[in-house]
A and B are shown apart, each in its own frame.
Chain A
Amino acid sequence: METTLGQNLGDTHHEHGPAGGIGRWLFTTNHKDIGTLYLWFSLLMFLTGGTMALLIRAELFQPGLQLVQPDFFNQMTTMHGLIMVFGAVMPAFVGLANWMVPMMVGAPDMALPRMNNWSFWILPFAFAMMISTLFMDGGAPNFGWTFYAPLSTTYAPPSVTFFIFAVHMMGISSIMGAINVIATILNLRAPGMTMMKLPLFVWSWLITAFLLIAVMPVLAGVVTMMLMDIHFGTSFFNAAGGGDPVLFQHVFWFFGHPEVYIMILPAFGIVSEIIPTFARKRLFGYASMVYAISSIAFLSFIVWAHHMFTVGLPLAGELFFMFATMLIAVPTGVKVFNWVATMFRGSMTFETPMLFALAFVVLFTIGGFSGLMLAIAPADFQYHDTYFVVAHFHYVLVPGAIFSIMAATYYWLPKWTGHMLDEKLGKVHFWLSFIGVNITFFPMHFIGLAGMPRRIPDYALQFADFNSVASIGAFIFGLSQLLFVYNVIACIRGGERATDRVWEGAHGLEWTLPSPAPYHSFSQPPVVK
C-alpha cells in the first residue's frame, strides 16, 4: 500500500502535461509548478507584510497615538520584518530559482523533485502558525524581527513558543530548498555547461544556497537555546547563571548578516542577466563577477558584529568587525562597476525589466553607501537603532531585493506564460514605484540623523514633518503594487504572443525553449558549446 500510494498518482512518462485540479498543486513534483507556488505565496506574504507596513506608517503619520497601542505596534513591526524577510523575499528567490535554474542549466527538472514539493508546502503551514499568534493571548511576538534576549525569553508573550517552532519549520524548508538548488547546479548541467559558463543568476544562487545551508542551522540553534531558556531552566542568555544576553546577538547575527546577503545575491544575479540583454552587449567582467560574489559570501561570515557596535564589544573586536565590514564595499563595488561598464557603449533600450534593473543599480548603491557609513563604528554610535538604519536596509531591500524580483518577473513572465506584458502599464508601475519608494525611504535618513529611534510608535515633535512625507510615500508605493498584481494576472490570462527569444538581446538556454516553456524543460539535454 505504501509503495503504490505515491506511485500511481501519475504515469512515469516524461511527455505529459500537468495533472488537473487542485491535486496538480498539492502533489506536484514539477519545478515550474513549484516555482509558481513559491511566487504566489511570496506575493501574498508581500501584500500581508506590506499591509502591516502601511499600518505602521499610518500610526507614524503624526505624533501621538492614533490607531494602535504600543504593544500592538511592536507586534506589527516584528511581524512586518519577519514576513517580508522569510515570507516575501526568500520564497520569491526560491521560486525564481525553481523556474529558472533547470532551464538555464539545461536540466529536465530539479535534482530532487519530491523534496522540492516538501520544501514549499512547509511554508504555508509555518506562516499560518506564525500569523495565528496575532490572535493568541498576550499577542504575537513583539520583540522585533531580531528577537533579542531577554526581551524574547523571560519577557516574551507565550506565543513565542509557536514563533520558535515556526522558525524551525522555515529553516527546514530553506535548507531543503538550498540543497536541491545546489544538487541541480552541480549535477544536472547540460553537457558542455562548465562552471565558468553558468549564467550569473545560477552562480549567484549556488553561492546563496551555500550561505543558506551554512546559516539556517545556526538560526535553528539560537531559537533552540531560547526555547531551553524559556521553558527548561537553562541560562544561556542569563548572566545569573553565567550566560550572556549578548551571546544571543552573536549567534543571531552570525546567521543574520549572511541572511541579508541571501536576500541580495540572487538579485545581483538577476540584474546581471537583464542588463546585458537590454544593453545588447555581453556582461562585462564575468569572471570577476563570480569572484566578487564569492568574496562577498566569504566576508559575510566575519562581519556579523557590525550590528552590535554599541553592545560594548572589546576594542579589538570593534576594530576587526569595522575593517572587515568596510572590505565588503570592494567586491560590491566591482559588481556595480561591471554593470555600468556593461551599459557603457552598449545599445540600450528601456523596457520595464531594464527600468527596474537600472533603478536597482542606483538605489541599491545608495543603500550600500549608507551601509558603509554604518560600518564606521564611531559613527554608527550615532546611527545605530535610528531610522538611518531603517533607511539603509529598506534601500537595499525594497528597491534592492524587491525591485530585482519585479524586474525578474517582468523579464521572464513572457517565457512562463507565453504572453507579452502590458508594457505601458509596466512603465506606469515602474515610475510610481520609483518615485514612491524614494519618497518613503529617503526622508528616513533625515529623521534618523535628526535622532529618531526605530521601533517606536510615537515620537517627538521635531520628527513630525518628514514622517508624514514618508507615510504618504508608503501609500503611493504600496498602492502602486496593485498595478503589478493586475499586470501579472492579465499577462497570465492573455496578451500578445511571446516569441521564443522574447527580448531581442537575450542569450541563454532558457530562450531556446518555446514560450511558454514546456512542462518538462529539457527532456533531452541540450549541448552547450
Chain B
Amino acid sequence: MSTASYYVPPQSRWPILASIALFLLAFGAGNLINALSAGSSTTLGGLLLGLGALLMIGILFGWFSNVVHESMSGMYSEQMDRSFRWGMSWFIFSEVMFFAAFFGTLFYVRNLAVPWLGGEGEKGVSNMLWEGFQAQWPLMTTPDMERFPGPQQIISPWHLPLLNTILLVSSSFTVTIAHKALKTGHRSRIVIWLAATVLLGASFLVFQAYEYVEAYHDLGLTLHAGIYGATFFILTGFHGLHVTLGTLMLIIIWLRVMKGHFSAEHHFGFEAVAWYWHFVDVVWVGLFLFVYIL
C-alpha cells in the first residue's frame, strides 16, 4: 500500500460558496420564521432563504460534478475510496444519533413525564396541578386541553403505515438487487431495479403526505395536539425528509447509471446511496414499532 498517489485536490471555490449559501439559508430561515411568528409581513427572510437554497443546490451540483469527474478520470486511489467510505459511515452514524435524540424524547415522555403528570410514580404529586388528568398513551387528553387539544383519533398502524413499511422494506431489497447487478455488470437490470426503488420511495412519500393530510383534517392530530402529536410529527417528519433526500440521491445515481457511470469495481457513489437508503429503512422500522404500533 502506498500513499504516494493520494489525491489532494487543488484549491476550490465550492466550500466558501457553500458557507455563504448555508449562511443565507440560516439567516433567511431565521428572519422568515420570526416574521411569521410575529405576524408581520416581510419578504426579506423568504428571499434570502430562497437565494440560499438555489445557491446551495447549484453548489452541491457543481461540487459533486467535480468529484465525479475526478473519480471518473481515475485520480482516486483505493485509499481515497476508503476515506470516502469512512466519511459516509460516520456521517450515517451522526444521523443515527440525531434520530436517537427524538426516540429518547419519545421514551422519556411515555415512560416518565406523562405518568408523573397523571399521578403515577415518584413524581406523581405533580398531578395536583392537573386535576383530573390521567396518564395514557397515546395521549388523547392532554393536561391542558385548552392550549393543547389532544388528537381525536390516531392513525391505525395496520393501514397506511403497514403499507408504507412493506414499501420501504421491499425498496431495501430492490436496491440490493440493483447493487448485485452492478457488481455482475448487468447494466439494464441496474436501471430497472433502481427505478423500482425510486418508485417505492416516491410512493412511500405520497402515502406519507396523504397520512399527514388525514391527520390534520380528520383526526385532529397536529403539531399542537400535545406531546403525542409533537413526537409523532418530529419523528415521522424528519424521517420523511430523509426519505425525500434519499429518493433524490437514488434518482441521481439512476441517471448516472444511465450515463454509463460506475463500474463493477468502482461504484462508491452508488454504495453510499444504498447505505443511506438502508439506514432510512431501519429508522422506519423503529418508527413503525415505537410510534405506530406500541
Contact = CB atoms under 8 A, between A and B. Distances in A.
A and B, direct touch (CB closer than 8 Å): yes
B46 interface: no
B173 interface: no
Interface in A176-225: 178-180, 182-184, 186-188, 190-191, 213-218, 220-222, 224-225
A241 B33 contact: no
Interface string B84-107: 101100110111011011101100
Interface of B: 1-4, 6, 8-16, 18-20, 22-23, 26-27, 29-30, 33-34, 36-38, 58, 61-63, 65-66, 69, 75, 79, 82-84, 86-87, 90-91, 93-95, 97-98, 100-102, 104-105, 108-109, 112-114, 116-117, 121-123, 126, 129-130, 139, 142-144, 147-148, 222-231, 233-234
A247 B91 contact: no
A10 B98 contact: no
Contacts of B117: 239, 242
Interface in A88-140: 106-109, 111-115, 117-118, 121-122, 124-126, 128-129
29 contacts: A2-B66, A6-B66, A9-B10, A27-B16, A29-B10, A112-B84, A118-B16, A125-B19, A129-B30, A158-B34, A179-B87, A179-B91, A179-B94, A183-B86, A187-B82, A188-B79, A191-B2, A214-B93, A218-B97, A218-B101, A224-B234, A225-B105, A234-B229, A236-B105, A242-B227, A243-B226, A243-B230, A244-B112, A247-B109
A23 interface: yes
Contacts of A217: 94-95, 97-98, 100-101
Given A240-B144, A240-B147, A214 B97 contact: yes
A186 B86 CA distance: 8
A121 B16 contact: yes
A525 B16 contact: no
Q: How large is the interface on A (under 10, 10 to 19, 20 to 34, 35 or more residues)?
A: 35 or more
A30 B10 CA distance: 9
A10 B10 contact: yes
Contacts of B29: 165
B15 A115 contact: yes
B36 A231 contact: yes
A446 interface: no
B65 to A, nearest CB: 5
A314 B123 contact: yes
Interface stretch (A167-175, A326-334, A421-429, A509-517): A167-175
A284 interface: no
B30 A2 contact: no
Most chain B beta-carbon contacts within 10 A, residue among A3, A121, A190, A244: A244
Contacts of A165: 26-27, 29-30
A179 B90 contact: yes
Nearest to A312: B123
A301 to B, nearest CB: 11
A126 B20 CA distance: 10
Contact of A188 (B3, B66, B222): B3
Interface in A242-296: 242-244, 246-247, 250-251, 254
Contacts of A244: 108-109, 112-113, 116
A213 B93 contact: yes
Contact of A29 (B11, B69, B108, B229): B11
A114 B9 contact: yes
A486 interface: no
A485 interface: no
Interface string A125-157: 110110000000000000000000000000000
Contacts of B79: 187-188
Contacts of A227: 33
A468 B227 CA distance: 48
B10 A12 contact: yes
A445 interface: no
Contacts of A184: 83
A41 interface: no
Contacts of A247: 105, 108-109, 113
Given A108-B8, A233-B224, A523-B4, A6 B14 contact: yes
Contacts of B95: 217
